[in-house]
């Protein structure tokens, strides 16, 4: 598994990665970083379940294309990993 964040990661990106590694069984995942808004090897962000994009690429864990101004990528990951917490 590879977790992909954006270069010069901010706290949101780092927290989303940490949640996946700590609570979603991805502790041995490889990390890769791409320019903000990009995806790993220009692949669609959610096409491969072994490649998880956070805070970049417009996928399920990227908040930038959403209307909510109070939602962050770490919260999207938290909702997926621990929806009842």
Q: Quick one: pLDDT band at residue 66, thresholds 50, 70, 90?
A: confident
- pLDDT per position as a tens digit, 24-58: 999 999 999 999 999 999 999 999 999 999 999 99
CB of 30 within 8 A of CB of 1? yes
- Which pTM value belongs to this model? 0.92
- pLDDT per position as a tens digit, 67-76: 888 899 999 9
Per-residue model confidence (pLDDT) at position 57: 95
Q: Quick one: pLDDT band at residue 84, thresholds 50, 70, 90?
A: confident
Per-residue model confidence (pLDDT) at position 2: 98
């Amino acid at each position: 598994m590879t977790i992909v964040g954006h270069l010069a990661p901010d706290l949101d990106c780092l927290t989303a990665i940490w949640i996946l590694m700590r609570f979603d069984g991805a502790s041995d995942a490889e990390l890769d970083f791409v320019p903000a808004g990009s995806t790993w090897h220009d692949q669609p962000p959610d096409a491969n379940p072994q490649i998880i994009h956070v805070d970049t690429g417009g996928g399920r864990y990227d908040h930038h294309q959403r209307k909510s101004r109070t939602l962050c990528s770490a919260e999207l990951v938290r909702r997926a990993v621990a929806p009842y917490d």
